[in-house]
Amino acid sequence: MKTNPLETHHHSPLRRISESIEDYVFVPRLVEVGKVISVGDGIAWIAGLPSAAMDEILWFDDGSRGLVFHLDHDRLGAILIKQTPQLAAGTRVSLSKQQISIPVGEALLGRVITPLGEPLDGDAPPVCTKKYLLDTRAPAIYQRDFVDSPLYMGIKIVDTLIPIGKGQRQLIIGDEGLGRSALAIDAVINQKDKQVRCVYVLIGQRRSAVSSTLRYLREAGAMDYTTVVVSEASSLAGEKYLAPFAGCAIAESWMHQGLDTVVIYDDLTTHAHAYRELSLLLRRPPGREAYPGDIFFLHARLLERATKLSADFGGGSMTALPIVETQQGEIAAYIPTNLISITDGQIYLNEQLFNAGFRPAIDISKSVSRIGGKGQVPAIKQEAGRIKLDYLQFLELEIFTRFGTRLEPGMETVLKRGRVLREFLKQNRLAPVSPIFNLAWLLGFNEGWFDDLAIDQVKQTLQLLDAHLNHCELDLASSRNQWIDFLSPWAKQIK
C-alpha cells in the first residue's frame, strides 16, 4: 500500500490542519462591533465599541481606516486617515487593538511616501522589516547629551552668525514667499557626503510646491539620503495631522541607531490649522483663535523628540527645523510664539530685507540660536563674534543716516564696512558654502582686507577666494597665523 507523502511528512499542510482541528476549543467569543452614525469632513461618529482607546486604529468594513480621537459616554469620534467612496452611515466598525505606526528603515531613503508609509513616487511599496509608532514619548533627560557638534546649512549668515548644532530645534519663521522653504531645501542639499539622514515633511502643500521641492532635491542628488513625507492640500485633515509625526518617527528610528538626522516640518502653521479643524468638528472646546487648549502640547511633544542622545544610548541626534508662517511680520501671533518658546532659537525672515534685495532675507536683530554656539568650531566662533557686533552696530547707525544726520569720519568708515559686510552675507539659492570658505572670508574681513573694497567687487572677490581655497591644505583646527599666511597672497591679489 502506497502512502501519501503529504500525510507522512511531519510539516505537511494536511497534518497541520488536522492538529489545528484537534486543538480547537469551542468557547463563546465576544467581539465588539460598532456602527457609523454619521460621516463627513474627514470625521466619523461611531456608536458602540465601549473598550476603544484613544489613538487606536479602527477598521471599517468598506476598507476605510480611522483613529480614535474623541471619547464620549455613548459614542466616539474618529478622524479618518483613509476613506473610500463607499463609507456611509451604517458601516460596521471593529477595533484593531493597535496604535498607528509607520514602516522605517533603509528602504525609505530616496522615497516619497504618505504619512501612512504608502508610496507616492510610482514605485513598489518600500520593503521594511521594522515599524515605529508615530506618537511616542520624547527621550528622558538622562538619555540626552549636550549639543556639541555643528550642523552646517551651507548658508553664510546662518553658519557664522546663527549657528545650529546637531540635536537642536531651530525655528524658521517669516511671511509667505520670503524663502523659508528655500532655506530648508538648502540645508538638506548641504548634508551631501556628511553622513546625515534627512526627512522632509510637506504638510498640506500644493502639488506644484511638492513637485518643485522634489525637483530641487533630485537635481542636487539629495534624495540618496532623504525621505520625503507628503500630505497634499487635497488630503484628509487626519493625514495632515499625522504627517509631522510620521516624519519624526522615521528620523527617530535612525537616531536610535546612532545616526545623525535632520527633520524639516514644512510647515507647522498648516498643521495647526488641520488640528484646529479636526478639534472643532469633534466639538472640542475652542480657546484662543479657536485653537483647542492642547495646541501647545501638540507641538511640544513633537519637537521635544529632537535631541542629541548620550553615548550610552547610541549617540545619535535628531535636529528639527520646523517652519512657521507669520502674517505681515507679526512674530507675536499665537502659533509663532508657542513655537518660539518650544524651540532653541529662530531664523527670522524680514519682508523689507527681501524687497531690498538682501537674500536670504534673514534679520540678524530678531534671529537667535541659544545653544548652537556651543557646537560651533572655535576658530569660526571667535571670528564670527566680532563680525556680528560690527554688523549690529552698522544696522543701528544706518537708521540715523535716513534722517540726514551728520556723521563723524569714523562713523562713515563703520558704515562703509557694514555695507561691504552686508554684501558678503548675500547668497544665491542652491549655492552652499563650506566651513573653510566661511572661516577664510571672516578672517579677511576682520583683518581689514576689504576696507577699501567697492560693493560691486564683492562677488568677484569671493570667486577669487573660492579658487584660492582649491589649493588649501589647512583645516578648521589650523592656527590663525597659518591661515593668515595662506590667505595673504589672495589679499594682495584683491588689492
DSSP class of residue 162 equals S
pLDDT per position as a tens digit, 372-429: 999 999 999 999 988 988 898 888 888 877 766 666 777 888 888 999 999 999 999 8
Final residue belonging to a domain, choices 330, 352, 375: 375
Measured CA to CA, the distance from residue 125 to residue 193 in angstroms comes to: 27
**Does a structural domain hold residue 7?**
no
Per-residue confidence (pLDDT) for residue 8, from 0 to 100? 44
Helix (H, G, I), strand (E, B) or coil at 211: helix
**3 within domain boundaries:** no
What residues make up the domain containing 67? Answer: 34-99
Question: Measured between alpha carbons, how far is 60 from 155 in angstroms, rounded to an integer?
Answer: 49
On whether residue 396 sits in a domain, the answer given is: yes
CA proximity to 455, closest of 488, 417, 493: 417
Residues 247, 299, single domain; the answer is yes
Strand locations in 16-83, DSSP E? Answer: 34-40, 43-47, 56-60, 65-71, 75-82
Q: Which pLDDT band, with edges at 50, 70 and 90, does 13 fall under?
A: low
Quickly count helices (H) and strands (E) in the chain: 15, 16
For the chain, give the mean pLDDT. 91
Tell me the mean pLDDT in the region 18-23: 74
Of 26-30, 189-193, 468-472, 473-477, the one with minimum mean pLDDT is: 26-30
Same domain, 50 and 139: no
Q: Which of 355, 375, 395 is the last residue of a domain?
A: 375
Tens digits of residue pLDDT in 125-166: 999 999 999 999 999 999 999 999 999 999 999 999 999 999
CA count, 13 A, side-chain hemisphere, 56: 18
Question: Domain check: are 91 and 111 in the same one?
Answer: no
Q: Is the pLDDT of residue 15 over 80?
A: no
Q: Is residue 11 part of a domain?
A: no
What is the pTM (predicted TM-score) of this model? 0.91
Same domain, 140 and 256: yes
Same domain assignment for residues 131 and 247: yes
For every residue of 368-401, DSSP letters joined together read EESSGGGGS-HHHHHHHHHHHHHHHHHHHHHHHH
Burial class (CB in 10 A: 0-12, 13-18, 19+), 485: exposed
On whether both 179 and 276 belong to a single domain, the answer is: yes
Among 157, 420, 135, 123, smallest CA distance to 305 is for: 135
Pair type for strands 43-47 and 112-113: unpaired
| pLDDT confidence of residue 355 | 94
**pLDDT confidence tier of residue 430, bands split at 50, 70 and 90:** confident
Average pLDDT over residues 320-336: 94
What would the grid cell of residue 11 be?
510539516
Are residues 470 and 457 part of one domain?
yes
Q: CA 221 to CA 107: how far, in whole Å? A: 17
- The pLDDT score that the predictor gives to residue 273 is 96
Secondary structure (3-state) at 206: coil
* CATH label of the domain that carries residue 81: 2.40.30.20
Q: What is the pLDDT of residue 3?
A: 46
Cα distance between residue 389 and residue 397, in whole Å: 12
Residue 493: per-residue pLDDT: 81
Q: Is residue 2 part of a domain?
A: no
- C-alpha cell recorded at residue 494: 584683491
pLDDT value for 26: 73
pLDDT of residue 405: 64
CA distances from 435 to 208, 319, 361, 444, 464 (A): 33, 19, 21, 14, 17
CB 37 within 8 A of CB 45: yes
- pLDDT category at 63 given cuts 50, 70, 90 is very high
- Which residues have C-beta within 8 Å of that of residue 198, sequence separation ≥ 6? 188, 191, 222, 225, 226, 227, 261, 262, 263, 264
Q: pLDDT tens digits for 87-127?
A: 999 999 999 999 999 999 999 999 999 999 999 998 999 99
Question: Has residue 384 been placed in a domain?
Answer: yes
Can you tell me the mean pLDDT for 51-78? Answer: 93
Between 393 and 338, whose confidence is greater? 338
Residue 253 has pLDDT above 90, yes or no: yes
Residues above pLDDT 70, as percent of the chain: 96
CB of 145 closer than 8 Å to CB of 253: no
Residue where a domain terminates, one of 61, 81, 99 = 99
Query: What single string gives the DSSP state of each residue in 314-370?
Result: T--EEEEEEEEE-STT-TTSHHHHHHHHHSSEEEEB-HHHHHTT-SS-B-GGG-EES
pLDDT exceeds 80 at position 29: no
370 catalytic? Reply is yes
Q: What is the CATH number of the domain that holds 133?
A: 3.40.50.300
Same domain, 277 and 409: no
Residue 15 within any structural domain of the chain: no
427, 458 contact by CB (below 8 A): no
Active-site annotation holder among 92, 144, 359, 370: 370
Give me the CATH number covering residue 486: 1.20.150.20
Q: Please report, rounded to a whole number, the percentage of residues in the chain having pLDDT higher than 90.
A: 78
The predicted structure's pLDDT at residue 491: 87
114 and 79, same domain (yes or no): no
Q: What is the pLDDT of residue 9?
A: 47
360 and 392: one domain?
no
Query: Do 49 and 16 touch, CB atoms closer than 8 A?
Result: no
Cβ distance 180 to 322 under 8 Å?
no
Q: Are residues 153 and 280 in the same domain?
A: yes
Mark whether 247 and 390 lie in a shared domain: no
Give per-residue pLDDT as tens, 194-251: 999 999 999 999 999 999 999 999 999 999 999 999 999 999 999 999 999 999 999 9
Question: Is 233 contained in some domain?
Answer: yes
Considering its fold, how many domains does the chain have in total?
Answer: 3
